[in-house]
Structure 1
Amino acid sequence: MTETTDAPADASLPAIRLRSLRKTFGEVVAVDSVDLDIADGEFLTLLGPSGSGKTTVLRMIAGFELPTAGTVELAGVDVTQKAPFDRDVNTVFQDYALFPHMSVQENVEYGLKVKKVPKAERRQRAEEALASVRLEGYGDRKPTAMSGGQRQRVALARALVNRPKVLLLDEPLGALDLKLREEMQVELKAIQREVGITFVFVTHDQEEALTMSDRIAVFNNGGIEQIGTPAEVYEHPATEFVAGFVGTSNLLRGEASRAVLGHDGVFSVRPEKIRVAEPGAVAGEGEDSALGRVREVVYVGSGTRYVVDLEVGGSLVALEQNQRSTSMDVMGMRGRQVRLVWRKEHEYRVG
C-alpha cells in the first residue's frame, strides 16, 4: 500500500463511512443512495440476492468502481476518487488468484516485494501472516498441492500481510463444499477476532451471514432494507423482504392475520417458534394458535419441517427437532389436521 499525505485519522471515527452512495450503469441503478457506517474492528456482512447491489458497494469501497454520486470515507478521509492502491484496504475474492508457480511463502510476500520491502522484513511478516491463519510450516508448498480451504487461507494471509485497516471479502467461501465452508465460517470469524481489523464480507448465503457477523446489512434493489445484529435481523425483520430472505418466509397477513391474531397487518413467526399439536389442543395464556392441515413433510435428520395450510387461508412452516421421532413417524403426518401453537411474544409485525 502506498503512503499518503493525509493527516492521521481520528480513532473515534468509523472505519468506513458511506454517504448517499449511488452507482448507475447506463439506465440501470445498481446502488441507490446508500448510507452506512462500519465501526473499527467490526465484522459487517453485506447480504442480499444477486443484483441487489452488495458487490457493487464493496467494489466502490475498494476503488474498483467509482460512484456516480456520494462519498466513501476511510477513517474520516475521503477516498472517493482515489485509486485502489491509495486506499488502506485489501480484497479477497472467490477466485483466490494465487500464482501456481510460486510457493505459498512467495505468494504471501509478493505484495511486499512489489513495494520494495526489505527481504528479511518480507519473510518475517509473511511468516506472521501465515501463522495468523494457522498455516505455519506451509511456506514451501505450492498452492496446487493444497486443499481449497488451505488455499483460501493463503489468499487471506496475502491480504493480511499488508496490514490493512480494512479487509474486503467478496464471497470468498463460495467455491468450497458445504462442510468445508461451514468450518471456514467459524475459522474466519476467529481470525478476524485475533487480528482485530475491520472485515466487510459479501455473501448471498443467510446462514453464512448469521454465523459470522457482528452486524448484517440486508440489500435489495440497490438499497439497504435493514441493518442490525444477526439476532435483530432474524428475530425482528423490518420488512417482508427481510423476513423472507433471512430464514424461512412465515407470514400471516390479511384474513389470516385478523382471524388468528385479531390484528390487521403482516406478521412474521419463525418456524422454530411454532409447536405442532393435536387439533383439539387449546392455546394457553400468552399464546396464539391456528388450525390447519399438513401439506408437506420435510425430514432433515436433526429436525422436520411441516408445511401447514391454514383453515383461515395462507400457510405456515413449523420446524421441530427429532428428539424422539424417526423418519417413518414424521412422514405419517402428511395430510393430518393439526393445531399450530406459538407464543404471542414471537409474533413480529413487519413493514
Structure 2
Amino acid sequence: MSPNQAPSLPQTAPQAPAGIAAVRLSGLRKEFGPVTAVDGVDLEIVEGEFFSMLGPSGSGKTTVLRLIAGFEQPTAGSVDLGGRDVTRLAPFQRDVNTVFQDYALFPHLNVRQNVEYGLRVKRVPRAERRQRAQEALRTVRLEDFGSRKPSQLSGGQRQRVALARALVNRPKVLLLDEPLGALDLKLRHAMQAELKQIQRDVGITFVFVTHDQDEALTMSDRIAVFNAGRVEQVGTPVEVYEHPASAFVAGFVGTSNLLSGRGAEAVIGRSGVYSIRPEKIRLDPDLSRPAAPGEVSATGTVTDTFYAGATVRYVVSLDAGGQLSVVRQNSEPAPELADGRVRLAWRHEHNFRIPEDKEHTDA
C-alpha cells in the first residue's frame, strides 16, 4: 500500500445482537395520500435493548413509532411484538406504552393518582394499584412526591412522572417520542443519564425517537438513522459514528468532513468520497514539519474560527481543493496563525470511504 493510499475497510451490514426480537418490522410502508412517510422499513429490536430512531423532521421516525404503537395503520408490511403479529390490533391490545414530549399529566390529580390512572381504567384493585404506583415512583426516584400536584414539580420531575405512569403498566416495550425535547439543555443532559439508568434497572425494551444526534449516541445500544422514510444505517453508536454508511449519515450524525473529487485524489491518493471526523485532524502552523509515518497531510488556509467554550473549530480551505473543519480542545495551546496558513494531518485509518452506491444520498 502506498503512503497516500487509504486502507480498504470491509463493508458489512451490522447484524442485530443475539436475543429474542421484542419488535420486528417487515416491509413497513405508510402513505398519507400522495406522500410516502415510511418507505419499506425493516427493523429488528431485541428484548432489553435501548434502541433509538434518529433523523431530521419528516424522516419518518415518529410515524414508525406510531405504527408500532397502533396509532396508525400501515399501508403495507407488518408489525410483530414478541413474535406476535399485531399489525391490525388496536393500541390497547398491544403490550406497549408511549411517553410523549407533551407529558399530558392531569393537573387536578396528584402524582400518585396520575401514575395510578391507567390501572384504575383497567379496574386493578385499589391496594394493588397503590403498591404498583409506589414501586413505579420509586423506580424514577419520586417515591416521596406522590401527594404533589404536577404544577409543583420541575420539568424533569414531570417527565419522570410520565415515565412512571407508563412503567406502572409493565409493558414489554416502552415507546418514547422525543420525551426530553421540552427540557433546557442542562436538565436534558441530566435526564439522559437518568433515563438510561432507569432502562437498565427495569430491563425492558426502550424505543426512543429523537432528532438529537448527541442524545442518540449517548443513550443507545443501537441506532437506526432515518432519511426520507427509509433507514440509512443501523448500528451501535460507534459503528454509526466511525463508519457511516452514506454521505447523509456522515453529515447528520455528529460533524463530519466529506472529501471528494480532485481534493480526495490529491490528498488521499484515491478517487471517491471520504469521511474524516474533525476531531481526528491535527492542525499545525509549521508548514515545514513533515507528516508522521502513517499520516495523511494537506496544506491550506484558515478561513473561519468558531469559539465554542470547551473547543475551537477551524474551517480550512485546502490548497488541493475542498474544505475541512478541525476541532481543537481548549486544553491544548492555541496555535499562532499569523497568516492563516496551516498544515493538517491525520491517520490513514481515519479516512472512511462512503460506499459508492450511497455517495449521493440526498439529505
Aligned ranges for residues 28-107 of structure 1 at < 5 Å? 28-107=35-114
Contact 1:266–1:349 (CA under 8 A) maintained in structure 2:
yes
The Cα of 1:324 is off from its aligned counterpart by 4.2
- Secondary structure at 1:282's aligned position in 2? coil
1:190 matched to 2:190: no
Deviation at 1:13, TM superposition (A): 3.2
What does residue 307 of structure 2 align with?
299
Q: Distance in 2 between matches of 1:203 and 1:53?
A: 11
Aligned to 2:361: none
RMSD of Structure 2 on Structure 1 (CA): 1.2
2:349 alignment partner in structure 1: 345
For normalisation by structure 1, the TM-score amounts to 0.94
Aligned-residue offset at 1:302: 1.4
| SS of the residue 2:272 aligns to | coil
Cα pair 1:297 1:333 within 8 Å, conserved: no
Instruction: Go from structure 1 to structure 2 and tell me whether the alpha carbon gap of 1:105 and 1:334 turns closer, same or farther (over 3 Å shift).
Output: farther
TM score, norm. by length of structure 2: 0.91
What does 1:249-328 align with in structure 2 at a 5 Å threshold? 249-277=256-284, 278-325=286-333
- 2:210 matches 1:203: yes
Count residues with an aligned counterpart. 337
Q: Which runs of structure 2 are paired with 1:164-243 in the superposition (5 Å)?
A: 164-243=171-250
* Native 8 Å contact 1:297 1:334 kept in 2: no
CA contact (8 A) 1:295 1:335 kept: no
* CA distances 1:225-244 after superposition (whole Å, capped 9, x unpaired): 00000000000101000000
CA deviation after TM superposition for structure 1 residue 281, in Å? 2.0
- Once the two structures are TM-superposed, the CA of residue 334 in structure 1 deviates from its matched residue by 8.0
Match of 1:148 in 2: 155
Q: Percent identity?
A: 68
**Amino acid aligned to 2:79:** V
Residue 52 of structure 1 aligns to a residue whose secondary structure is: coil
Q: Which amino acid aligns with 1:259?
A: A
| Contact 1:268-1:349 within 8 A present in 2 as well | yes
Distance in 2, Cα, partners of 1:311 & 1:107 = 63
Distance of 1:258 and 1:241 partners within structure 2: 21
State the distance in 2 between where 1:183 and 1:296 align.
33
Unaligned residue ranges in structure 2 (runs of 5+): 1-17, 356-363
The answer to whether the 8 A contact 1:18-1:71 is kept is: yes
1:91-149 per-residue CA deviation (whole Å, 9 max, x = no partner) reads: 00000000000000000000000000000000000000000011111000000000000
Give the drift of 1:249. 2.9
Of 17-26 and 281-290, the range deviating more from structure 2: 281-290
**Which consecutive unaligned segments of at least 5 residues does structure 1 have?**
1-10
Shift of 1:333: 3.7
- Please tell me whether the aligned partners of residues 296 and 334 of structure 1 are also in contact (alpha carbons under 8 angstroms): no
Equivalent position of 2:13 in the other structure:
none
Q: One-letter code of the match for 1:283?
A: A
Please state how far the C-alpha of 1:282 moved relative to its aligned partner.
Answer: 1.1
